[in-house]
Amino acid sequence: MRFTPLLRGALLLPLFLALPARAAAQETPEEVALAYFEHFKEGRLAELTALTHPRALAWFKNALITALEQDSADAADLDVDALRVLPPDSVYLRMLNAAPEGNRLGALMVDMRMEPLGHLAQGDSLAHVVYVGRGNLMGAEAAQTMAVTLRRHQDRWLVDPGDGLLGMLGTSVMYLLIAATMEGRTTGAARARP
C-alpha cells in the first residue's frame, strides 16, 4: 500500500501536534526545584506538596505516626487514628499548614532567591540540582551553595528531600536557622538600646 504525501501528512499530523505539548510538560529538574522553592517562599503549600515525591511523603507519614505513638503528649494534640487513614500528601500538607513558622518564614524569604547552576544525573530517574541560595541577611548579601534531590515519578521530576525529618524539611532548615539568628540578634540589639 502506498500513501500519498497528503495522506501521510494527515496521518502524522496528530503525532506532530502532540509532541510540543508533551515536550513542554516535561520540566527539567532545575525548573521543578525552582518551582518548589517559589511555592515554599510564597506559602503555596498545596503546590509544594504536589511537587514532593510520593516516596518521601509516605516516609514522612510513617515517621510522624511512629513518633506520635511514642510520645503521648504530642499524640494528645493529634488524632493518630485519623492520620493513619489519610493519604500521605494530606498528612504532609496538614503538618505544613500547622507549622507556626510558616508565615514568618515567608516574610523572611521575600528577597531570597534560588539560582540553579545545573544538575547531576544519577541514572535516568535521579537528579541532584545544585543551586545558589541568595538573600539579604541582616543587611548583608548572603549566599550558600546547596543541592536538592529529585526523582522521577510517572514521567515527571519531583523533589525527594530524603529519609529523615531534616531531609523532609531540608528546603526550609536554612531559613529556620536564618530566622533564629535574626531573631536572636534583633532581640539582643533591641535590649541593648535604652
The ranges assigned to domains in the chain are 27-192
**CATH number given to 27-192:** 3.10.450
Confidence of residue 129 (pLDDT cuts 50, 70, 90): very high
Q: What is the pLDDT of residue 47?
A: 93
Maximum mean pLDDT: which of 79-88, 137-146, 157-166 = 79-88
Q: Which residue has the higher pLDDT, 174 or 151?
A: 151
Higher-confidence position of 140 and 163: 140
Phi, psi of 143 (to 5 degrees): -145, 145
In this model, does residue 11 exceed pLDDT 70?
no
What pLDDT, on the 0 to 100 scale, is given for residue 72?
A: 65
Mean pLDDT computed over 105-110: 57
- pLDDT at position 110, please? 62
Cβ(106)–Cβ(177) below 8 Å: no
Q: What is the mean pLDDT of the chain?
A: 72
pLDDT band of residue 30 (cuts 50, 70, 90) is: very high
* Per-residue pLDDT at 171: 44
Cross-strand bridge partners of residue 140: 137
Better pLDDT: 11 or 107: 107
As a whole number, mean pLDDT of residues 146-164 equals: 87
| Three-class DSSP category at 87 | coil
User: Do the Cβ atoms of 48 and 38 come closer than 8 Å?
Assistant: no
pLDDT at residue 165 is higher than 50: no
Cα 46 to Cα 99: distance, rounded to the nearest angstrom: 14
Q: Is the pLDDT of residue 7 over 70?
A: no
Per-residue CA distances from 92 to 18, 45, 102 (Å): 35, 9, 14
Q: Which residue has the cell 526550609?
A: 172
CA gap 181, 142 in Å, rounded: 13
